[in-house]
Amino acid sequence: MFIDTHAHIDMKSFKNDLEDVILRAKENNVSKIINISCDIDSIFNTLELVEQFDNIYGALGIHPHDSKDYCDDIEDRLIQWLKHKKILALGEIGLDYFKMYSPKETQINVFRRQLKIAKQMEKPVIIHCRDAYEDTYEILKEFDISNGVMHCYSGSAEFAKRFMDLGFYISFTGTITFRKGDLKALKIIPIDRLLLETDCPFMTPVPHRGKRNEPSYIPLIAEKIAKVLKLDIKEVEESTTENARRLFKGL
């Protein structure tokens, strides 16, 4: 079976056919989905999803875009919500210097605060990083964080090696089916450090590019990885599933 380790099926684009989306995932051998939150609304949505569906798990955190809204009250509630047995990680968190929806210093402060929680609660972290690789690496190294994944990786092969040296997994989305630059990093990742994700409804793989992404497309990403790494797709399936279970305890 496959596992979609990073989805946003609580978003409005899934409002009218969520059960069909989950059924299609199962029909395509995607048996489990981790829904990732970014803000307070998506945290509540994720908590509802994990209660409603047996095969849906969750991660809770405040995205760098929304770090300007972070406060002590949110932090206190986040700590309590993370105790839920189906909440497997803290995320997605990190730094985004591309869009800068929140000030840089605010992003860094909130990133540090959430890493401190992850460390104390022994939760893996799901890291969002865009145009902020050096700062992200240095902060993770400072906190001695080794239990996590660089999600939707689009950085260099060099930085991929540095994050793996910290102990991180690397995860790719459907962009590897159409963006050649991502393949440079993919080619140097050992199969035991890879995870699969859609990041749906975004990052839709070929041949569905331009349409809404969904978990049932995970095999398309696995097929591309198998082709690039010259592996059998069954090996990609088995290894990435084992990796996901190793990182996300209780999956």
Please give the annotated binding residues for a divalent metal cation, written as ranges. 6, 8, 92, 128, 151, 199
List binding-site positions: 6, 8, 92, 128, 151, 199
Contact between residue 89 and residue 123 where contact means Cβ atoms under 8 Å apart: yes
Secondary structure of 131-154 in the HEC alphabet?
A: CCHHHHHHHHHHCCCCCEEECCCC
CA distances from 169 to 159, 165, 166, 202, 246 (A): 12, 10, 9, 21, 11
> How far is the CA of 47 from the CAs of 86, 105, 127, in angstroms?
9, 29, 20
